[in-house]
């Protein structure tokens, strides 16, 4: 008997549906192929019919051209005839190619071809009438037309074309019917096959859902309850041999195993360590972990009992020792406190001495700065005196140059006086000459009078300039004398400034040495103060350490008592577990 698993059930359902779809596809493909072939033959028949129509149309065009020429005698009416004459052979050849698979049509074409383009055919009859019209005139051509030979040939041609069209139309109806039948068969096959596939898939889906999905849903609900810690759910027993049955049985064993582990955990929580855990297999991680945990708890509980006994004894001994340590720490703390007070007094005294030394050092530094400032001021005064001496020398040089220019101006003034005297003499001579000239010399006399007036003004101006120049020379002489005295005074001041600078230099060096000594004293005092501060800090640290030691001793004493009490409680707790 075949064992149907889940994969086989699903595969069988889908295989049936796939088989139906393949059958539908094959039938549809065959029907579509047949339909395509039929459509090709329909198109072929349509083309044969169109070609037959073209043959008749060509023959009619030839008759039209021939008739027009016979009536009018105009060559332009022969254009349709010539075009038809050129096309008829190609059209008949096309018909032979299209109907080469039809013997009846080939036979009819054998009859049609000589009637159209043969020696006794329609085109020869038309050509004969055209030639007669061209050579003998209208009446001769009309006699040929009245013989009815052309109409008889044309009737035969129409009859043969009609037979060929009737046969092609019959074939067309047959082929259209075949195409419709193929289309109907394809539609029926697709509709029926689709419905059958739909029904089969619905039945297969219902069976698969009922046979697989429902049991899986129950197992999933049980798994969710187990996931949140609810082990009260039970999975019903099943005899199914597929994957769903195997999954149900596996879940049932897992639930039983978890329940067993939960029972073991409950006993351990109640203090019973005498339980025995049996793992499902070597790969049972949870079972092996529980077994190891129980063994470790049993071993640790035994060791803990021994340790608690030792802990109680040690705690008592530590309590006695810490009591003695606390008393010793209190005495040490009192001694350190007295020493710290003494060191603090020494530190304050050293701090006062250091402050005085810093004040002395700052005063010496200020005195040194003042002496340096005085020395710089003397240097500035010396530089100023040098500049004044240079300026006085420049003023003396300028005064000497001014005296020389004054003398030059005196010479110029003497020259101007000579010119004024000569101008006055020239004016007198001109006046005399003007008097001699009489009436004609009046204008010249006026000029002579003006020249004389200018000479007088020049003389007066020269006297004023001489007076001013005399004053300037006197002032210049006085300034030169004052400049010489100022220069001597500046030189004397420069010498005194130099002596004062040397004195201030000596004073500055003395003050600098005193400042350096005061700085060294202050540094020594500062170092002493730092040392005392370090001692005080160390004593303070020792005091704090002593205080902390006292507190630590008290805390240690308390911890020892707590440890002793903890040992007693641990004994009580360990006694609850049964090994």
- Mean pLDDT computed over 505-522: 68
* Higher-confidence position of 395 and 471: 471
Give pLDDT, residue 162: 94
Q: At 419, is the pLDDT very low, low, confident or very high (cuts 50, 70, 90)?
A: confident
Residue 436 included in any domain: yes
Residue 346 confidence (pLDDT) above 60: no
Q: Nearest 5°: CA angle at 416, between 414 and 421? A: 95
What percentage of the chain's residues is helix, strand, coil (to nearest 5)? 90, 0, 10
Is residue 540 within 8 A of residue 386, CB to CB? The reply is no
Give pLDDT, residue 108: 92
Q: At 546, is the pLDDT very low, low, confident or very high (cuts 50, 70, 90)?
A: low
Q: For residue range 137-181, what is the model confidence (pLDDT) as tens digits?
A: 999 888 888 888 888 999 999 999 999 999 999 988 998 888 888
**Does 168 lie in the same domain as 316?**
no
- Quick one: which H or E segment has residue 393? helix 285-437
Give pLDDT, residue 311: 64
Give pLDDT, residue 528: 63
Residue where a domain terminates, one of 179, 205, 231: 205
Give pLDDT, residue 50: 93
- Mean pLDDT computed over 5-31: 78
Q: For residue range 234-260, what is the model confidence (pLDDT) as tens digits?
A: 666 666 666 777 777 776 777 777 777
Residue 482 included in any domain: yes
- Quick one: which H or E segment has residue 81? helix 79-98
- Mean pLDDT computed over 529-547: 70
Residue 213 included in any domain: no
Residue where a domain terminates, one of 161, 186, 205: 205
- Across the chain, what does the average pLDDT equal? 77
Q: For residue range 25-73, what is the model confidence (pLDDT) as tens digits?
A: 888 788 788 878 888 888 889 999 999 999 999 999 999 999 999 899 8
Give pLDDT, residue 170: 92
**Number of domains present in the structure of the chain:** 2
CA torsion angle 425 431 435 441 (round to 10): 130
**Does 162 lie in the same domain as 46?**
yes
**Does 189 lie in the same domain as 318?**
no
Residue 1 confidence (pLDDT) above 60: no
Give pLDDT, residue 443: 73
Residue where a domain terminates, one of 177, 205, 233: 205
Residue 219 included in any domain: no
Residue 294 included in any domain: no
**Does 307 lie in the same domain as 199?**
no
Structural domain boundaries, residue 522: 303-574
**Does 334 lie in the same domain as 185?**
no
Cα separations (Å) of 59 from 94, 169, 271? 16, 22, 124
Residue 106 included in any domain: yes
Residue 431 included in any domain: yes
pTM comes to 0.36
**Does 344 lie in the same domain as 196?**
no
**Does 534 lie in the same domain as 407?**
yes
Provide the terminal-to-terminal Cα distance of the chain, rounded to the nearest Å: 56
Q: Give the CATH number of the domain where residue 114 resides.
A: 1.20.1330
Give pLDDT, residue 188: 87
Give pLDDT, residue 93: 93
d(CA 221, CA 227): 10
**Does 333 lie in the same domain as 199?**
no
* Higher-confidence position of 438 and 377: 438
* Higher-confidence position of 79 and 10: 79
**Does 468 lie in the same domain as 343?**
yes
Give pLDDT, residue 96: 92
Q: At 446, is the pLDDT very low, low, confident or very high (cuts 50, 70, 90)?
A: confident
Residue 245 included in any domain: no
**Does 323 lie in the same domain as 196?**
no
Give pLDDT, residue 65: 92
Q: Give the CATH number of the domain where residue 366 resides.
A: 1.10.287.950
């Amino acid at each position: 008997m075949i064992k149907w698993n889940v994969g086989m059930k699903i595969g069988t359902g889908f295989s049936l549906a796939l088989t139906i779809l393949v059958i539908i596809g094959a039938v549809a493909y065959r029907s579509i192929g047949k339909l395509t072939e039929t459509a090709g033959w329909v198109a072929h028949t349509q083309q044969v019919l169109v070609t037959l129509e073209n043959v008749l149309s060509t023959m009619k065009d030839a008759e039209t051209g021939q008739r027009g020429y016979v009536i009018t005698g105009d060559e332009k009416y022969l254009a349709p005839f010539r075009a038809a004459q050129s096309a008829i052979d190609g059209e008949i050849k096309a018909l032979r190619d299209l109907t080469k698979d039809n013997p009846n049509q080939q036979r009819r074409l054998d009859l049609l071809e000589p009637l159209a383009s043969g020696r006794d055919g329609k085109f020869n009859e038309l050509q004969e009438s055209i030639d007669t019209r061209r050579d003998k005139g209208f009446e001769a051509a009309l006699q040929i037309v009245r013989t009815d030979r052309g109409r008889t040939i044309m009737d035969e041609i129409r009859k043969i074309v009609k037979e060929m069209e009737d046969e092609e139309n019959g074939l067309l109806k047959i082929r259209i019917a075949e195409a419709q039948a193929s289309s109907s068969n394809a539609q029926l096959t697709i509709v029926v096959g689709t419905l059958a596939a739909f029904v089969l898939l619905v039945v297969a889906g219902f069976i698969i859902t009922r046979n697989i999905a429902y049991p899986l849903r129950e197992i999933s609900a049980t798994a969710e309850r187990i996931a949140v810690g609810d082990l009260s759910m039970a999975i019903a027993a099943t005899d199914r041999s597929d994957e769903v049955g195997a999954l149900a049985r596996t879940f049932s064993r897992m639930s039983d195993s978890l329940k067993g582990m939960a029972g073991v955990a409950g006993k351990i929580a109640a203090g019973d360590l005498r339980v025995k855990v049996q793992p499902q297999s070597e790969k049972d991680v949870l079972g092996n972990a529980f077994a190891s945990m129980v063994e470790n708890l049993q071993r640790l509980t035994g060791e803990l009992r021994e340790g608690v006994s030792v802990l109680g004894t040690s705690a008592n001994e530590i309590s006695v020792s810490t009591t003695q340590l606390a008393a010793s720490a209190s005495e040490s703390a009192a001694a350190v406190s007295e020493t710290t007070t003494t060191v603090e007094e020494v530190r304050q005294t050293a701090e006062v001495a250091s402050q005085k030394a810093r004040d002395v050092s700052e005063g010496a530094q200020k005195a040194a700065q003042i002496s340096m400032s005085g020395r710089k001021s003397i240097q500035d005064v010396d530089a100023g005196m040098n500049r004044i001496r240079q300026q006085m020398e420049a003023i003396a040089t300028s005064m000497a140059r001014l005296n020389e220019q004054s003398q030059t101006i005196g010479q110029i003034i003497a020259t101007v006086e000579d010119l004024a005297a000569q101008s006055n003499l020239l004016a007198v001579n001109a006046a005399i000459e003007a008097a001699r000239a009489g009436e004609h010399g009046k204008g010249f006399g006026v000029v002579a009078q003006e020249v004389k007036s200018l000479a007088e003004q020049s003389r007066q101006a020269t006297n004023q300039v001489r007076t001013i120049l005399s004053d300037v020379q006197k002032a210049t002489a006085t300034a030169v004398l004052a400049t010489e005295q100022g220069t001597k005074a500046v030189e004397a001041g420069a010498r005194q400034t130099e002596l004062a600078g040397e004195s201030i230099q000596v004073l500055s060096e003395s003050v600098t040495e005193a400042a350096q000594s005061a700085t060294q004293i202050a540094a020594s005092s500062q170092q002493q103060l730092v040392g005392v501060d370090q001692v005080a800090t160390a004593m303070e640290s020792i005091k704090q350490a002593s205080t902390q030691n006292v507190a630590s001793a008290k805390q240690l004493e308390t911890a020892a008592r707590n440890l002793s009490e903890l040992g007693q409680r641990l004994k009580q707790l360990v006694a609850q577990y049964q090994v």
